[in-house]
Structure 1
Amino acid sequence: MATIPPPPSVDPALPADAPPKAPSPLGFADFRYYWFARFTAVMATIAMVVVIGYQLYDTARSDYGMSIKEASFQLGLLGLVQFVPLALLTPVAGWAADRFERRRVAIFSNGIDMLIAATLGWFTWTDGLTLPLLFGLAALHGVARVFSGPAMSAIAPNIVPAAVLPRAIAMSSIAWQSASVIGPAAGGLIYAAHPTSVYVFAAALLAASAFTISRVRPVLPPPAEVRRHPLREMVDGLQFVWSERFLLGTITLDLFAVLLAGATAMLPVYARDILQIGSEGLGFLRAAPAVGAALVALGLAFRPIERNVGVKMLWAVAVFGGVTVGFGLSTNFFLSLALLVVMGAADMFSVFVRGTLIQLNTPDHMRGRVSAASGLAISASNELGEMRAGAMAALLGPVGAVVIGGAGAVGVTALWSWLFPELRRARSFEPQFKESIP
């Protein structure tokens, strides 16, 4: 394990018995490189995802003559084709993050996404986009994401001290969410001005991310006393999550809540045919949740919560579902934006608590595999949630799909608070595996 540099000395002006103040994560050069690498990669990939969704929906409507319900179902299929590689490769990605140098795994995933951006840029330029091509490249993007998530998540605990980790996770979320604000808006505006340029923009950001993460000191996997067969090690990670009810409840809460309440897949429908605001408006719709999330992440970075974290997480998920219902019923652009901002804020609060609890309650030699399991749950909730929304939209229309899903998320939150009382009883971020924290 890489050596962590010592924190700054205690301020001599403080009383001798005062507890030392944890330093800022940005005081560590490796974390600054990590932060920028995550920011640029997320901005690039989310800009691409927004444009791919719009291009697929527009292609289905314009070139294939599909109705709104039929084209909405194609958006659901888009989520499915991204989820399949995630489901198949998640155990491999988690094992790779625990077995190989984690920076190189992240750089590898950036390389895949650069290839996707170049290909999409070429076919956009030549007006050669088809539904099979878009589905195929979306699946390849799923491959890149499955390897990036566990590796990047497992790097952070190794480059800052344990006392700094909650603030580091909040600041890492700021990187994610601020990029999620800029990426969709920039992607929509650049695409409206010159469709091909959005992929040039994404490829340049991915190259910058790969270079920056290479500047972080090597993050070697923790030594194992006995190396077991790779398949056995993959199974060990899944068994660990299954046996730890606290981790299982935390991960599956997000899985089922977002699976039901995710409205992202329907945003192209709302932008094109309900709110009638086009690709530029779609960029703002996609950016709105990230605005709320970034504001919450910024607040948590400077004033992280410390008490009753489990109950607060449950309430945040319930608010997320309730606001989704409101968004589904809205036909006003500005009201829809405001509801999406609140939705993102509630989701960020839940993400912060869940991410911190998972990282601090997982031994380091398991972090890659547990992060992969958590990433699979997140991806299942997002991609399969898109499939769920698309299928329901084909039957009930997009508004019915969003409203029913939001109500279902509220119900799941109530059910999970009863099935997993460990979540309600989580008072603080006190780690269970203290000896594994750097």
Structure 2
Amino acid sequence: MIALGDGTPGSGAVTCGRVPALRRSGTVHAPSYDPFAALRDGGFRWFAASRLCSGAGQTLLQAAVAWQVYQLSGSALQLGLIGLARFLPALLVSLVAGAVADRYDRRRIVMTAELVPVLCAAALMLTTRLGTVGLPLIYALVFAVALASAFENPARQALLPQIVPRAIFLNAVTVNSTIQQLAFVAGPMSGGALIARAGVQGAYAAVAALYLGALMSLVPLSPRAEPGERRAVSVAAIVEGLRFVWHRQVLLGAMTLDMFAVIFGGATAMLPIYAEDILKVGAGGYGLLTSAQGIGALLMSVVMVLLPPVRRTGWVLLLAVTAYGLATVAFGLSRSFPLSLLLYGLTGAADQVSVIMRQTTIQLATPDALRGRVSSVSSLFIGASNQVGMVESGLVAALTNATFSVVSGGLGCLAVVAAVAAGMPELRAYRVDAEPAAPGAVDRRTAASVSLTSDPGDPSPRPAGTPLPQAGEARRSTGPVPESPRPCRPGKPG
């Protein structure tokens, strides 16, 4: 068993997951890939424990709220409005939240944000128990939790590079995504059981406890202070982040593909209807159904942890979203509960591939000074895809039926993939090791000419398109060869 460390960066059992370099006639051989390098870092383990608790609390809260709203209203439109209540805060404050994350202590921002769902879940538990809960109160508290999450998400994403050394950063992103999916499986699965046995108020009590655990797990962390001046929160700072994303077609393309594909293809809002009216499996089946997507994502994430990082991320991203659309169409047509579980699990597996491709691209292509703001743009895209998708599917189902909403959404997802693949060849051809970082670039031609390498051991400029050494390849040393591995110097991921 790996014990939690003291919370400081690099306090794990080994140094950055590296294997000592071999000295062979001036050639330095790349270390072998260690899929568990991040888990050997004490600070990352505390960070991961917090993400596990908050992720489980988040999905458990979503499942409980959706079930309670449908029981109170019996309306597909009211289910869709939950998505609107979650998305509006992201739309209103996400960009400001990114600038805040680049200006203030990111750990304190996350801890403050985690306190809000503790209080809101306690309020839902109490009012449900007293019989005074109503739809306006539910929507108001969902809005409050979403507002806190809008500040938490960019701060948490930008916090990770301050905790783990750059040498294991890519591994940390993948492992963190795996832990997040584990939480997304545990939340809905336990939610179905809690609702069936203890009622919705029991689920809300568990939500409060989980978020409190997430908050306390951040207390031992000692994030590394990044050098340089922190820019004040201002309109100019926000615009700077937007321009960086806009002028990097790969970032913009990946975010756009994810947003519109999930807006059309997301079936989350329809799950209570499928469980209750179409598949007729009740609360227990609803819990399994809401967990199926997370299980598929978790299994795929484990596979991706064990394998070396994918290089052709653009092509793999397009394939993954195509698979997501096809599985969504099949799920919408299925009337077999076991088949529906399998198909919904496949949507999770495909979506997880696209998530890791997108997160890796964003982290490697963004300098530390802009990381909070770029992460906020990404969070805005993610919020739009998930929450606007719930509104869209609810409206379509209200005008037609749940089956038409899900099937037409899957077909719309496939249409988006075709349009992006045809109209954005740079995304289709993108490779992680060939993309220039260009931290200060705001012009495509400038960004395409000269950039900073993403190789942490080579700070010199590299012409655009020059591939970095692949894992396992030997790199010819241009200077003295060290007898032992150099200390892991925390750096900026791209």
* TM-score, length basis structure 1: 0.93
Paired position in structure 2 for 1:212: 217
Task: Indicate yes or no: 2:401 matched with 1:346.
Answer: no
Pairing partner for 1:89 from 81, 86, 93: 93
Letter in 2 for 1:212: S
How far did residue 82 of structure 1 move?
Answer: 1.3
Q: How many residues align?
A: 427
Matched-pair contact (CA < 8 Å) for 2:162–2:223: no
Q: Deviations over 1:33-66 (max 9, x none)?
A: 11111011100111011010110011002xxxxx
Matched-pair contact (CA < 8 Å) for 2:314–2:427: yes
Q: Deviations over 1:258-314 (max 9, x none)?
A: 010000011011111111112221111111011111111111112133332211110
Task: Indicate yes or no: 2:24 matched with 1:19.
Answer: no
Question: In 1, distance between residues paired with 2:218 and 2:435?
Answer: 27
What is the percentage of aligned positions where both structures have the same residue?
37
Pairing partner for 1:10 from 16, 19, 22: 19
Question: In 1, distance between residues paired with 2:240 and 2:320?
Answer: 31
Pairing partner for 1:200 from 194, 198, 205: 205
Task: Indicate yes or no: 2:210 matched with 1:155.
Answer: no
Paired position in structure 2 for 1:40: 53
Letter in 2 for 1:10: V
Matched-pair contact (CA < 8 Å) for 1:155–1:219: no
Task: Indicate yes or no: 2:111 matched with 1:107.
Answer: yes
**Superposition RMSD on alpha carbons, in Å?**
2.0
Pairing partner for 1:173 from 149, 153, 177: 177
How far did residue 161 of structure 1 move?
Answer: 2.9
User: Unpaired segments of 5 or more residues in structure 1?
Assistant: 62-70
Matched-pair contact (CA < 8 Å) for 1:150–1:372: yes
Question: In 2, distance between residues paired with 1:9 and 1:339?
Answer: 39
* TM-score, length basis structure 2: 0.83
Question: In 2, distance between residues paired with 1:231 and 1:354?
Answer: 26
Question: In 2, distance between residues paired with 1:430 and 1:157?
Answer: 21
Question: In 1, distance between residues paired with 2:289 and 2:343?
Answer: 10
Paired position in structure 2 for 1:67: none
Paired position in structure 1 for 2:286: 282
Question: In 1, distance between residues paired with 2:171 and 2:212?
Answer: 27
Q: Indicate the SS of the match to 1:20.
A: coil
Question: In 1, distance between residues paired with 2:383 and 2:19?
Answer: 42
Paired position in structure 2 for 1:28: 41
How has the CA–CA distance of structure 1 residues 244 and 13 changed in structure 2, closer, same or farther, with 3 Å as cutoff?
closer
How has the CA–CA distance of structure 1 residues 395 and 277 changed in structure 2, closer, same or farther, with 3 Å as cutoff?
same
Q: Indicate the SS of the match to 1:194.
A: helix
Matched-pair contact (CA < 8 Å) for 1:105–1:151: yes
Question: In 2, distance between residues paired with 1:308 and 1:178?
Answer: 26
Paired position in structure 2 for 1:251: 255
Matched-pair contact (CA < 8 Å) for 2:296–2:346: yes
User: Unpaired segments of 5 or more residues in structure 2?
Assistant: 1-7, 438-453, 460-490
Question: In 1, distance between residues paired with 2:53 and 2:265?
Answer: 28
How far did residue 151 of structure 1 move?
Answer: 1.1
Letter in 2 for 1:202: V
| Matches for 1:32-431 after TM superposition, within 5 Å | 32-61=45-74, 71-195=75-199, 196-220=201-225, 223-224=228-229, 227-228=231-232, 230-429=234-433
Q: Deviations over 1:192-224 (max 9, x none)?
A: 111222122111111111111222213546533
Q: Indicate the SS of the match to 2:432.
A: coil
Paired position in structure 2 for 1:66: none
How has the CA–CA distance of structure 1 residues 232 and 405 changed in structure 2, closer, same or farther, with 3 Å as cutoff?
same
More helix by share: 1
Matched-pair contact (CA < 8 Å) for 1:174–1:298: yes
Letter in 1 for 2:380: L
